[in-house]
Amino acid sequence: MNSFKSFCEKIKSGKIQDFDTLAMDVFRYQSRHNEIYRKYLEVRGIQSEKITEVQEIPFLPISLFKTAKVISGPEDLYTSWYSSSGTTGQENSRHYIWSKEFYLQHCVNNFEAVYGSLKNFHVLALLPSYLEREGSSLVDMAAHFIQESNSDQSGFYLYEHEALKEKLESLKENGKKTLLLGVTFALLDLAETTSPSTDFGDVIVMETGGMKGRRKEMIREEVHQLLKTAFKVDNIHSEYGMTELMSQAYSPGEGKFWCSPFMKVMVRDVYDPFTYTFGTTGALNVIDLANFHSCSFIETEDLGLKNKDGSFTVLGRMDNSETRGCNLMIN
């Protein structure tokens, strides 16, 4: 388990010297110690020792998290798991984790690298339906953000729109920043209860995706325009994450996401998954080095593109994939 521990320490340090070198180390480790990933490589006829650079690493289809226990260590290490939200009739994914403490601290590190200390925020989390089920990594992350904010004004909200609006009004000149973190359908529901006189000040409105069949699908630009008008803000922030990953990417506006130092997004050709594209629409492959305990190389079912400035944009879902609870709007 020396490699397992060394990966943990490198991620905890908050920075890495060479992403590709560490990615190759994680790949070699997982190709030996992850039974599902090893079998996947065997089925594809791939010899891991012949992989010499990151561009050649095969990505595990995310759908396998629905049918298999994807782990890279002894089973007795994995005492917890997170599950995807899904919708009625769908099989949910399970992400088995070795340490909730590690996951939650990693979430804090990712957020604070972009937005600064959580102690400078009041955190208001609008997560109905997610709060009403077990196994949500998003709820655990939000709960930890609330705790880390060290503010008695922070808290969760289900459907208490009037109470939430009153709280937002009361905090607009409080001296600390306010983060309104919510799933998309819930933010839209809240937006519909606002009026032209509504004024929440400089609140940071951050959507995490998630229509969950509650509303008609809308393109991101349409959703963001509705939210900007309702909350009278210049930008809608976004979080990109999923049950099967440990890391998150954040967008300060315009739908452009920036990866943490431990995360990399590559765009594969939809018709040739072994070819990568730049500047054109394709399907997203995600490398998450913090996922060393599971699988760090995930072939997602999201569509997007890489931008010239190094950011990436999520455009929607592949036509032949199921609608996932945490997915973003269809474009």
User: For the segment 78-102, what is each residue's pLDDT rounded down to a tens digit?
Assistant: 989 999 876 555 788 999 999 999 9
* φ, ψ dihedrals at 17, nearest 5°: -80, -40
Average per-residue pLDDT for the chain: 90
Q: Is residue 319 part of a domain?
A: no
Distance in angstroms (rounded) separating the CA atoms of residues 95 and 136:
10
User: Could you tell me if 303 and 185 are in contact, meaning their C-beta atoms sit under 8 angstroms apart?
Assistant: no
In this structure, the answer to whether residues 128 and 233 fall within a common structural domain is yes
For residue 212, pLDDT beyond 90: no
Tens digit of each residue's pLDDT (9 = 90 or more) over 290-306: 999 999 999 999 999 99
Q: What is the pLDDT of residue 188?
A: 95
In this structure, the answer to whether residues 109 and 225 fall within a common structural domain is yes
For the chain, what is the domain count?
A: 2
In this structure, the answer to whether residues 81 and 132 fall within a common structural domain is no
For residue 328, pLDDT beyond 50: no
Band (pLDDT 50/70/90 cuts) for residue 286 is very high
Q: Is residue 36 part of a domain?
A: yes
Distance in angstroms (rounded) separating the CA atoms of residues 292 and 307:
27
For Cα atoms 308, 314, 319, give the angle at the middle one, nearest 5 degrees. 130
In this structure, the answer to whether residues 105 and 222 fall within a common structural domain is yes
Q: Is the pTM of this model over 0.85?
A: yes
Pairing of strands 177-182, 204-207: parallel
Among 189-193, 232-236, 262-266, 319-323, the range scoring the smallest mean pLDDT is: 319-323
In this structure, the answer to whether residues 171 and 124 fall within a common structural domain is yes
User: Could you tell me if 304 and 284 are in contact, meaning their C-beta atoms sit under 8 angstroms apart?
Assistant: yes
Band (pLDDT 50/70/90 cuts) for residue 326 is very low
Q: Is residue 283 part of a domain?
A: yes
Q: Is residue 139 part of a domain?
A: yes
Q: What is the DSSP string of 179-215?
A: EEEE-HHHHHHHHTT--TT----S-EEEE----TTSS
Q: Residue 288's domain spans which residues?
A: 19-92+259-306
Distance in angstroms (rounded) separating the CA atoms of residues 16 and 35:
27
Q: Whats the size of the chain, residue-wise?
A: 331
Distance in angstroms (rounded) separating the CA atoms of residues 205 and 99:
29
Q: What is the pLDDT of residue 197?
A: 84
- Would you state the structure tokens that stand for residue 90, as one six-digit string? 């769908």
For residue 34, pLDDT beyond 80: yes
* φ, ψ dihedrals at 326, nearest 5°: -95, 10
R_g over Cα of the chain:
20
User: Could you tell me if 298 and 268 are in contact, meaning their C-beta atoms sit under 8 angstroms apart?
Assistant: no
Pairing of strands 204-207, 237-240: parallel
